[in-house]
Amino acid sequence: MEVIPGTWNVEPGTETGVKFTLLKTDPSGARAGVFETGHGQVLTPVFMPVGTYGAVKTVTPSELADSGSTMILSNTYHLYLRPGSELIQRLGGLHRFMGWDGPILTDSGGFQIMSLSELAKVTEEGVTFRSHLNGDRHNITPELSVSIQEQLGTDIAMCLDEVVDPLSHKKTMAGAVERTRRWAQRCLHSRTSQKMALFGIVQGGTFLDLRVESAQGLMEMGFDGYAVGGLALGEPRAETWKAVKSTTTVLPESRPRYLMGMGTPMDLLDGIERGIDMFDCVMPTRNARNGTLFTSRGRLSVKVNALKDDLGPPDPDCSCYTCLNFSRAYLRHLYMTGEMLGFRLCTIHNLSYYHQLVSGAREATLEKSFADYKKQVGEGWNSGDESDRPDAVTRLR
């Protein structure tokens, strides 16, 4: 395979914790690469299931692996509050604690602090907030955020950033960009683990000039990768993609790009087309627990009466454990009776579908045929036998 120059290490000349190699780009802008970490290899583009508390809801680590998961995301804020990062460190780190031997990415907790604590106060020092669990007062600084993630033993850590409403006035957004840059520098200087990669987070809302300014400021510090944050929080979707494109256009090709917290299957393909390598979202697992499946022919609700005697597989084009062994009628029965197995089976399918989706995008990128692949997937979502039952299917577009 052709290798594009730009392989990078956590610290040049020291023990390598994480290495990323960009293998190929597609004319559309899609990229295919590979991570090498202390906990295994990750092929990109990659979708990371969300295990907020050190667990992806309803499924075991072995089921995660069987679904195609290679890297998961856990949350610094929640694990810091409960059971505590120091306890997890004493018990051997997050990998051992949760029984997952693959790579783990942890976010810094900045978004959760601001969204879950009504009394959060941001100063230059950090963020003071009260726990949403018991009201205890805490202060998270950039240095402490990095320390917590090192205690967890994560493979990829995120810098603490200031998250503001994407519809904020430009002056407010510019202030958040500057503070995020200063905090990122403090995070970088406080890192002590050579095995842990550290990503800077690009902010700026939908102001394209601020996005470019934020990205350039972080690039000067030389982070191991870059995340695009502060989007999909209420702004028009067209503005989201303009902001993403303006960011990836200036980011270095040799570093991985991570779009935080989105999205739908077509969002993933739209992001890949704009040069994104990494994604996370609760959508496949949360929708599974609500009785909604993502399939090659659209969204399928297992709750509707039309499925009560349907012996067909949930997705005839899927080879996951759920689709090979169970019918739509059975999944509907499980959901209507509140059986936990139904939530598990739906989660296994949705995760498998997401992983198959990005794996197909990777193969298409390596073959330089991503545009055709995206068109084919989109046609499946907007046509097919599911579209004849509008009560059973809703479309993303």
Sign of CA dihedral 339, 340, 346, 349: negative
Marked catalytic residue, from 26, 267, 270, 280: 280
Q: Which two tokens stand for residue 322?
A: 């759920």
Q: Which two tokens stand for residue 164?
A: 């503001």
Marked catalytic residue, from 107, 161, 270, 310: 107
Q: Which two tokens stand for residue 299?
A: 């969204």
Q: Which two tokens stand for residue 320?
A: 């996951």
Centroid of chain to Cα 79: 17
Q: How far is residue 338's CA from residue 253's CA, in Å, rounded to a whole number?
A: 48
Q: Which residues of 129-148 are buried (b: 16+ CB within 10 A; e: fewer)?
A: bbbeeeeeebebbbbbbbbb
Q: How far is residue 193's CA from residue 174's CA, in Å, rounded to a whole number?
A: 31
Is residue 66 flagged as an active site residue?
A: no
Is residue 270 flagged as an active site residue?
A: no
Half-sphere CA count of 390, side-chain side, radius 13 A: 0
Q: How far is residue 264's CA from residue 270's CA, in Å, rounded to a whole number?
A: 10
Annotated catalytic sites, by residue?
A: 107, 280
